Amino acid sequence: MKDKSGTVSCYFYDSDGNALIDKNDNYGTVDSPPHVAVSRSFKPTSDNATYTDFDIAIPYEELHLSGTSSRTLKVNVLIWDKSVSPNKQVVRRDGVSFTCIPVVSYLRVGGSTADKTQSFSYSGGRQYYSVDTNASDFELWGVPSWCSVEKSSNGFTLICRENPSSSSRDDYMKVKAADKEIKISITQSGNYSSYSSSSSSSSRSTSGSGYTRSRTRSYSKPWLRIGIDGSMDVIMKRTQTTFYDPYYDEYYTDYTEEKEKFVFGAGLRVRIGRPDQMFNIITGARYMFGTSKGLQVPAILNWNLLRGDGIAMYMGGGYEFGLTDAYQGTGAALVQVGVGGTHGDLQVFYKPNQDLIGVGFTLYF
């Protein structure tokens, strides 16, 4: 067969000599139904050519065997001369037996094949998982948006970021290899552990797909917060002086412009209510330093106009009872606007009877 085209064909049978049936037309004959077969072409360069590395391969799944146990199969090997038509059979060997050992894929995460559950505190954390598989690689599918992974050849580290919300959140991801997958359910607590009817949402996106799933859970948030409070007031008023002239028997009023005064304060503030509720009550105690020394005790009602999960924009009003020089031992009405959150509160206020504006900040514990 020197310089002639030839083909080596292999036809597969079970141990009883029944032809294996090709179910997807990938590796098969033209018979009906097609039989499982595979072939490879060759072209000898001499009449007595010898091949020591002539391999013919077929994927295991193309044998279309059921089950995962080893079994004995048979193969008929034929060599064809393709230089003539019809093709001429040169060599034939039937019934060559061999043992077929299926390649069964496996996947173990953290040393087992069971699904996992991983919990993190609100501050986040890291958890390492080993991955053992006979696949060439493994895929980390659906990592939640509030997590990330550091992948290596034999495992990965799951990194959970700090939860900025008082609401708990949960999601899941999957480790995939070949036709196996293991699910890891991930939960992270909020800053508080009690439960009530207030709701929040968490979402996740599957990697590489753009698919997003959202779920809603009910969690509670504390209705009482205590924090460190600081403020700066800017006094811009006219000083009014009234005196009596006995000669004319009349009262006179004199107005003098007073320079701006910066008054600083610090103390504790108490918020009753949550940012996701319609109204909050503010009280506490603040000591004023500077030109007007003394103690202030506020009683303020805030109306949360725009409410979200752990944050709100509000407007409010109330009264500050005080023993300061500026308040002359009585107090002052005020109106304010601000932004309140789980851990902080920023407000800008105005006190009309004192012609005073100021800004305050509270950091809640």
Q: Record the pTM.
A: 0.37
Q: Which of 179, 203, 218 is the last residue of a domain?
A: 218
Q: What is the pLDDT of residue 166?
A: 83
212 and 338, same domain (yes or no): no
175 and 230, same domain (yes or no): no
Domain membership of residue 1 (yes or no) is no
Q: What is the pLDDT of residue 124?
A: 93
Q: Which CATH number covers residue 337?
A: 2.40.160
Domain membership of residue 279 (yes or no) is yes
Q: What is the pLDDT of residue 199?
A: 39
Q: What is the pLDDT of residue 339?
A: 94
Q: What is the pLDDT of residue 324?
A: 56
Determine contact, residues 129/111, Cβ cutoff 8 Å. Answer: no
228 and 214, same domain (yes or no): no
21 and 152, same domain (yes or no): no
Q: Which CATH number covers residue 190?
A: 2.60.40.10
Domain membership of residue 205 (yes or no) is yes
Q: Which of 218, 248, 268 is the last residue of a domain?
A: 218
Q: What is the pLDDT of residue 303?
A: 94
Domain membership of residue 62 (yes or no) is yes
Number of domains comprising the chain: 3
Q: Which of 100, 134, 153 is the last residue of a domain?
A: 100
Q: What is the pLDDT of residue 128?
A: 97
Give the domain range for residue 83: 6-100
What are the pLDDT tens digits along the chain (365 aa)? 788 899 999 999 999 999 999 999 999 999 889 999 999 999 888 888 888 888 898 988 889 887 767 889 999 999 999 989 898 998 999 989 998 877 778 899 999 999 999 999 999 999 999 999 888 889 999 999 999 999 999 999 999 999 988 889 999 999 998 789 999 999 999 875 433 333 344 444 444 333 334 443 434 457 788 999 988 877 665 555 666 667 667 766 655 555 446 778 899 999 998 888 889 999 999 888 765 677 888 999 999 998 876 788 999 999 988 765 544 455 788 999 999 988 899 999 998 877 788 899 999 88
91 and 203, same domain (yes or no): no
Domain membership of residue 184 (yes or no) is yes
